[in-house]
Structure 1
Amino acid sequence: MVRNTVRSASSADPTVPGKLLRLLFHDCFVEGCDASVLLQGNGTEQSDPANRSLGGFSVIDSAKRVLEIFCPETVSCADIVVLAARDAVEMAGGPVIRIPTGRRDGMVSAASNVRPNIVDTSFSVDEMINLFSSKGMSLDDLVTLSGAHTIGTAHCSAFSDRFQKDSKGKLSLIDTSLNSTYADELIKQCPADSSPSVLINNDPYTSFMFDNQYYRNLLSHRGLFQSDSVLFNDERTRKQVEDFANDQVGFFESWGQSFFKLTSTGVKTGDEGEIRRSCSATNM
């Protein structure tokens, strides 16, 4: 049921897989994989600026409505988020992954928990290592899961720190680790007065395909975010970037292992949490 919902939504909108994958990361890194990011209301995770551009909620809600008809109060929203992201990757050309279910939905969602627990696009390798380590994930997991940026889009503000404005408001490149030709393309797509609605593909070449092009982009200094580029610039992560750039099968194998670890982060089971009837609100 989840797979059919994701397939239908992705057929109508090719940006859906990237949205569902990003939604998973923003859920699992904050409070664990417990669908806390889906809860609506003042002061919830959704109200933090880092989450205001999240998408894919309607897909999760559609799957939940179907499941509540056929399997009432049985499948958690947390499981739906994980399954939808898994299916989204597969439908975008990525690997087929088997993952366990049985997660329960969390009862807590606070905006104050968001920023300390998610990767900012300006992060250094050390900052990312510290955050991933706090979630029980390794350096290999960091490089592998960064490959999620092979699909999806970003607002210009997510990488604006790599440019500066002159006295006339014109943008110029200040991050010399970024390919100058690619930087010029980004400046054209993101003029200084660009609308917040402007979206840039994370991967300029195969933007809707889940493949290893992301790592090839890093080799040619075409990583969109600072947090992407540092993976190739740092000797601790460069070898794995090079390996994945030359071996998509190897990347897919690592993705399966790291995705399993990501979706097992902070999972609530047994008497913890609940099975929500609606993903946007707790049952109480």
Structure 2
Amino acid sequence: MGDAEAILRFREPMLLLFVILFSALPFSSAFSVGFYTFSCPTAEFIVRDTVRSATSDDPTIPAKLLRLLFHDCFVDGCDASVLLEGDGTERVDPANASLGGFRVLDSAKRVLEMFCPGIVSCADVLALAASHAVALTGGPEVRIATGRRDGRVSAASNVRPNIIDTSFTLDQMASLFISKGLSLDDLVVLSGAHTIGSAHCSSFSDRIQVDSKGKLTFNAPSLNHSYAARLAKLCAAGAAASVKNDPETSFLFDNQYYKNLMAHEGLFQSDSVLFDDQRTRTLVELFANDEGSFFDRWGESFFKLSSIGVKTGDEGEIRHSCSSTND
């Protein structure tokens, strides 16, 4: 056998192996884990570093980024439409008035445009930022898929029909989650995001009321009275005042939220019903007693959340600025 024939016989299986490996590389899919491995290998590092830096200056940032992702993905999918500014956009709806974290995303995007211009979408920046926010506050590291495209449409009229109100019943929440491809279990898991962050008193004022003489009235029978009294005191300054979602470990992503539910200290009606209803109580109890189970399930549910209605290909664009379309 000649040298040429020997080389060919050696190279053919090697070529086949190369093709197989090449086809499995992250960029071969329009939406996959490691999508930017070759087009912008520092993308995830840049977002993570930006979130870490912002959090060191302001520990409320992680909760803001996480909430921002929920409000984005539930309205027309995870396409960064909530980041667009202008009349009639999602941001002008009163339900989104208290959203924050926009500057962190803008900062990350500016750096990305320096190193990888026109490559990384704002939708991916938001999803990655929210994922890193959880990890930076003690939660699990979740490797999510990337390759989202940015939406070109943002309408305030789409907000209210697509987000959870704090006064919702379990059936109302379950119906909305199912419409997004999420389950009742996902509802319990993702509600654990309330283990960090804060809320304005106006968002739960219907649960407790204080008259002019200081008498406290409970409109939520299952709410712990001592906890309600503390809330009333904290909210004495008015509806614009705010309290921590989880008064025990407010800046730590852990399973304390579920322990609070079992103690009848759920801040919102939409929290309390998770323990009050037999359909979800078992999972609440599991997570309250086993943080590892919560973290494992969080990874699965968060991946699903961050994949809702993803736009790929020519369905969207890669914005130069997260607050405006490229038009």
Q: Which TM-score band applies after superposition, normalised by the shorter structure? A: over 0.9
Q: 2:290 aligns with which of 247, 268, 272?
A: 247
The amino acid of 1:26's aligned partner reads H
The amino acid of 1:208's aligned partner reads F
User: Is 1:70 paired with 2:115?
Assistant: yes
User: Partner of 1:118 in structure 2?
Assistant: 163
Which structure is larger by alpha-carbon Rg, 1 or 2?
Answer: 2
User: Is 1:266 paired with 2:309?
Assistant: yes
Distance in 2 separating the partners of 1:269 and 1:107: 13
1:41-190 equivalent positions in 2, closer than 5 A: 41-166=86-211, 168=213, 171-190=216-235
1:214-229 equivalent positions in 2, closer than 5 A: 214-229=257-272
The amino acid of 2:107's aligned partner reads S
The amino acid of 1:183's aligned partner reads A
How far off its partner does 1:173 sit? 2.1
- 1:190 is paired with a residue whose SS is helix
Distance in 1 separating the partners of 2:199 and 2:293: 27
| RCO comparison, higher one (Cα < 8 Å, 6+) | 1
The amino acid of 1:70's aligned partner reads F
The amino acid of 1:211's aligned partner reads D
Q: CA RMSD in A?
A: 1.0
Distance in 1 separating the partners of 2:54 and 2:309: 28
User: Partner of 1:194 in structure 2?
Assistant: 238
- 2:243 is paired with a residue whose SS is strand
The amino acid of 1:36's aligned partner reads S
User: Partner of 2:10 in structure 1?
Assistant: none
Per-residue CA distance 1:65-116 (angstroms, 9 max, x = gap): 0000000000000000000000000000000111111000001100000000
User: Partner of 1:256 in structure 2?
Assistant: 299
How far off its partner does 1:168 sit? 4.8
TM-score (norm 1): 0.97
User: Partner of 2:280 in structure 1?
Assistant: 237
Count of residue pairs the alignment pairs up? 282
TM-score (norm 2): 0.85
Contact 2:202 2:239 in 1 (8 A): no
How far off its partner does 1:26 sit? 0.3
Distance in 2 separating the partners of 1:195 and 1:235: 32
Structure 1 segments (4+ residues) deviating >4 Å: 167-171
Gaps of 5+ in 2: 1-45
User: Partner of 2:66 in structure 1?
Assistant: 21
Per-residue CA distance 1:166-190 (angstroms, 9 max, x = gap): 3557553221111011001000100
How far off its partner does 1:195 sit? 5.8
Distance in 2 separating the partners of 1:99 and 1:164: 42
- 2:138 is paired with a residue whose SS is coil
- 1:86 is paired with a residue whose SS is helix
User: Partner of 1:207 in structure 2?
Assistant: 250
The amino acid of 1:267's aligned partner reads V
User: Partner of 2:29 in structure 1?
Assistant: none
Contact 2:166 2:203 in 1 (8 A): yes
Distance in 1 separating the partners of 2:52 and 2:239: 30
Distance in 1 separating the partners of 2:112 and 2:199: 31
